[in-house]
């Protein structure tokens, strides 16, 4: 066993983009039949490295060996011929085609399409993987977890035995993640090798056999999972000690700043999404909203900040009825900050530069404009100041926001929403897709806002995160608050029951 060559070996891989070195002398050994994780923050060079293995980039220096034999991989076809398959973070699928059509799409050597055989094999393989996928089902009708399985199936169908998975859990719900992990272990046990790219520590600890930690284009460490701890991994990844338990002091709670009373609202399709929902947030506390995605969280956030009309009920902010207040007045007069869930589609204008985005919600007011004339010089200095204080990594404030990493994009939103001392802060999935360092930053920032007296409505589907940061928790289910409890009394079990609509008291 020990003499068997590694499934894939990288030696001294270097890749530059202009003056920027994305991969610097990277060495990597991936054993057969193992789950090997590549851990690193956003921008650490993980994706570049995977693109090199998959033949999308050619390295400037270094060697690649597949089972001990030196190879050059100049396009994905050649990677596939070596048994290397990749599942991208954003699936490459045709939504209007069926599962089996997606699987065979691009396979060579057929003049007349006869899917009978393929259909049989696809459902066989699906069954083997422990999921019943109907090969004739339309891709668009599958839940995202199933779509991901089809993507894996596609690779296995092409006889890939080394699967590269790029941030595979970022699209999955907690329940889906559980069964996805089972699938990966099963794949390993049936002789495949898995290369998992991730920035999530617990995933690495749960799942992988070995881990390679990357930082700034270099390999910082290669470790056996059994020999390491999450704390050590985090330190290597970020390059300094990471405080896991963000200093959570007791809240100094003040008067209610946000009072939501019996509100109702409809979603974009006109279906009622909020039913007679009530809650209260006081100054200096964080109320966490727990729930499975799609139970009215988005509508609740939008109703509070004024982007969604109410069909009933009232919302008061600092004692003022907000009925006649639009999103602008709520932001600037009532001091309601909002960090929306979809930072790219809602929170930012990706095609404008950093400086404009720093004042996106305020450029029509003094001092950023006077009598309808923009003061771009003022906006620029303001942005430079904020970017420095919030540590936005950029080439300059005139850089387009589209070209920044997710963490840096989120910092822009936070900086903007926090800068004018909000009384109420509505934050929705603020750490989604961020790496450990950025998550820590976001949570720290929010806690310090709380300590300065802001009332924070913290909506998230990450239970652990809410348990860590929130002072009180409210569970939302089908547009209603079905339970509320102090964070100190909350356990994942209790919350889990409520999240699926069952009453904890009924359970005894």
Partner 1 sequence: MNRGDVRSSAAQTDSETQFQARLLGIIRIVFLLKTVWAVIAALLLGAILILLAGGDPLEGYSALFRGAFADYWGIGDTLVRMSPLLLAGLAVIIPLRAGLFNIGAEGQIYIGALFATIAALYLPEYLPGLVRIVLCIIVGALGGALWATIPGLLKAYRGTNEIITSLLLSYVAVNLIGAVLHMWLIEPGAPYPYSREVPEEVILPIFLPRTQAHVGIMISWIAALVVAVMFWKTTLGQSIQVVGHNKHAAAYAGLNVKRLTVLSFALGGSMGGLAGVFEVLGLKYRLFDHFSPGYGMQGIIVAFLAALNPIGAIFAAIFLGGLQVGAGAMQRATGIDTTMVAALQGLVVLCVALGLALKFHPDRWQRRIVAWRSSR
Q: Which residues bind partner 1 (CB under 8 A)?
A: 11-12, 14, 16-19, 25, 57-58, 60-63, 307, 326-328, 331, 338, 340, 342, 345-352, 356, 360-361, 363-364, 369, 372-374
Cβ-proximal residues to 270 (8 Å cutoff; 6+ apart), any chain:
none
Tell me how far, at minimum, the Cβ of 371 lies from partner 1, in Å: 9
Do residues 479 and 190 lie in contact, with contact meaning Cβ atoms separated by under 8 Å?
A: no
Please, what is the minimum distance in Å from the beta carbon of residue 47 to partner 1? 12
The CB-of-181 to partner 1 minimum distance in angstroms stands at 34
Report the distance separating Cα 75 and Cα 127, nearest Å.
Answer: 31
Residue found under tokens 């946000």: 258
> DSSP label at 357?
H
**Minimum CB separation from partner 1 for residue 395, in Å?**
13
Which H helix or E strand runs over 315?
Answer: strand 312-317
Give SS3 for 61: strand
* Cβ 378 to partner 1 shortest distance, Å: 13
Q: DSSP states of 117-131 as a string?
A: HHHHHHHHHHHHTT-
When the beta carbons of 135 and 433 are compared against partner 1, the nearer one is: 433
For partner 1, which is the closer residue by CB, 57 or 157? 57
Q: In the 3-class helix/strand/coil scheme, how is 185-231 assigned residue by residue?
A: HHHHHCCCEEEEEECCHHHHHHHCCEEEEEECCEEEEEEEHHHCCHH
Nearer to partner 1, 119 or 331 (CB): 331
Q: How many CB atoms lie within 10 A of CB 306?
A: 21
Residue 360 CB, shortest distance to partner 1, in Å, is 5
Nearer of residues 335 and 480 to partner 1, judged by Cβ: 335
Give the Cβ contact number of residue 197 at 10 Å.
20
Min CB(467)–partner 1 separation in Å: 29
CA distances for 200 relative to 123, 216, 364, angstroms: 32, 17, 40
Residues 188, 34 contacting (CB under 8 angstroms)? yes
Nearer to partner 1, 172 or 307 (CB): 307
Nearer to partner 1, 285 or 341 (CB): 341
Nearer to partner 1, 27 or 316 (CB): 27
């Amino acid at each position: 066993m020990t003499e068997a060559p590694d499934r894939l070996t990288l030696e001294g891989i270097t890749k530059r983009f202009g003056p920027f070195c994305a991969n610097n002398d990277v060495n990597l050994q991936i054993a057969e039949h193992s789950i090997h994780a590549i851990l690193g923050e956003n921008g650490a060079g993980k994706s570049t490295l995977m693109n090199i293995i998959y033949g999308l980039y050619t390295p400037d220096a270094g060697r690649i060996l597949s089972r001990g034999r030196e190879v050059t991989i100049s396009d994905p076809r050649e990677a596939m011929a070596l048994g290397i398959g990749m599942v991208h973070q954003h699936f490459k699928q045709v939504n209007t085609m069926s599962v089996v059509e997606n699987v065979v799409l691009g396979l060579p050597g057929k003049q007349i399409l006869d899917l009978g055989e393929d259909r049989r094999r696809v459902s066989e393989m699906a069954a083997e993987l422990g999921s019943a996928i109907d090969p004739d089902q339309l891709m668009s009708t599958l839940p995202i977890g199933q779509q991901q399985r089809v993507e894996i199936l596609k690779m296995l169908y092409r006889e890939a035995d080394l699967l590269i998975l790029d941030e595979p859990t970022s699209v999955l719900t907690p329940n889906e993640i559980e069964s996805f992990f089972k699938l990966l272990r099963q794949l390993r046990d049936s002789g495949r090798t898995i290369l998992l790219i991730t920035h999530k520590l617990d995933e690495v600890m749960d799942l992988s056999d070995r881990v390679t930690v990357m930082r700034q284009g270099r390999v910082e460490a290669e470790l056996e999972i059994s020999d390491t701890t999450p704390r050590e991994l985090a330190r290597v990844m970020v390059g300094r000690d990471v405080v896991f338990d963000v200093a959570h002091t007791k809240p100094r709670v003040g008067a209610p700043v946000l009072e939501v009373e019996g509100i109702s609202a409809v979603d974009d399709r006109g279906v009622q999404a909020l039913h007679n929902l009530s809650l209260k947030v006081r100054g200096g506390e964080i109320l966490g909203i727990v729930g499975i995605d799609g139970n009215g969280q988005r509508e609740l956030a939008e109703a509070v900040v004024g982007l969604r009309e109410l069909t009933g009920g009232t919302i008061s902010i600092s004692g003022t009825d907000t009925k006649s207040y639009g999103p602008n007045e709520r932001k600037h007069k009532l001091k309601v900050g909002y960090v929306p869930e979809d930072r790219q589609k809602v929170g930012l204008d990706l095609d404008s530069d950093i400086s404009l985005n720093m004042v996106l919600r305020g450029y029509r007011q003094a001092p950023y404009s006077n009598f309808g004339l923009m003061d771009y010089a003022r906006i620029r200095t303001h942005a430079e100041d904020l970017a420095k204080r919030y540590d936005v990594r950029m080439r300059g404030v005139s850089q387009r926001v589209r070209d920044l990493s997710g963490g840096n994009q989120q910092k822009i939103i936070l900086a903007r929403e926090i800068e004018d001392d909000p009384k109420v802060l509505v934050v929705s999935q603020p750490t989604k897709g961020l790496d450990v360092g950025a998550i820590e930053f976001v949570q720290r920032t929010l806690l310090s806002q709380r300590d300065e007296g802001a009332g924070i409505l913290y909506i998230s589907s990450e239970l652990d995160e809410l348990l860590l940061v929130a002072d009180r928790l409210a569970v939302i289910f089908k547009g209603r608050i079905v339970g509320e409890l102090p964070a100190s009394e909350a356990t994942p079990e209790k919350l889990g029951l409520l999240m699926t609509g069952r009453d904890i008291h009924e359970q005894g």
